[in-house]
Amino acid sequence: MGVEGGAQPGPDGELRCPWGLSAEDYVAYHDGEWGRPVHGDDALYERLCLEAFQSGLSWLTILRRREGFRKAFAGFRIEEVAGFTPADEERLLGDTGIIRNRAKISATVANAKAAASLGEGALDSLIWSYAPDAERRPAPRTHTEIPAVTPESTALSKDLKKRGFRFVGPTTAYALMQACGLVNDHLADCWVRDEMRPGAG
């Protein structure tokens, strides 16, 4: 086993970050998605929006409604959501497949417009320009060593807000960086971190 509070063994004996074992839905997300590099404007837009919806809620709540969000927001295709009207926003307030929060729905549409205005490939380039040097970040041994905010996430948040994005505070920006592989916050003993190290496989 890892250090106290560190990676814990799952039913298959593999060591994982404790949160990845806290609910059945989390296992596949932890193993196959969280922390792995994500590229593409639409893919990053989706994750940015989902992190915004997660604000104040459990990520599990969002994860379990993910397909509902994708259906409601046209697969998170930026150009399509950018064309949503106030009537579309009102319609979405009645959609039980998503979190029906007026401010967050409005922000999702506004963020599509902001992303579209950047031009193709620009959202990807913008977000990834804030990825810190991985060599200068020691692997966390326990969850208490993982920050909620970093200088990079604060700078990314400020840049996104300047460009018209909403619900992109420094904490949300860091959650995005974690989820999309800009940083690797899998614990030192987690098998996923070992698989993701340069040259693995």
- Selecting among 45, 46, 51, 174, the annotated active-site residue is 51
34 is catalytic: no
Active site residue 19: no
Choosing from 26, 34, 45, 59, the catalytic residue is 59
CB 109 within 8 A of CB 166: no
Structure tokens at 85: 């009207």
Matching residue, tokens 């994500």: 38
Catalytic residue status for 128: no
Instruction: Single out the catalytic residue among 14, 29, 33, 80.
Output: 29
Alpha carbons 52 and 81: distance in angstroms, whole number: 16
**Which positions are annotated as active-site residues?**
29, 51, 59
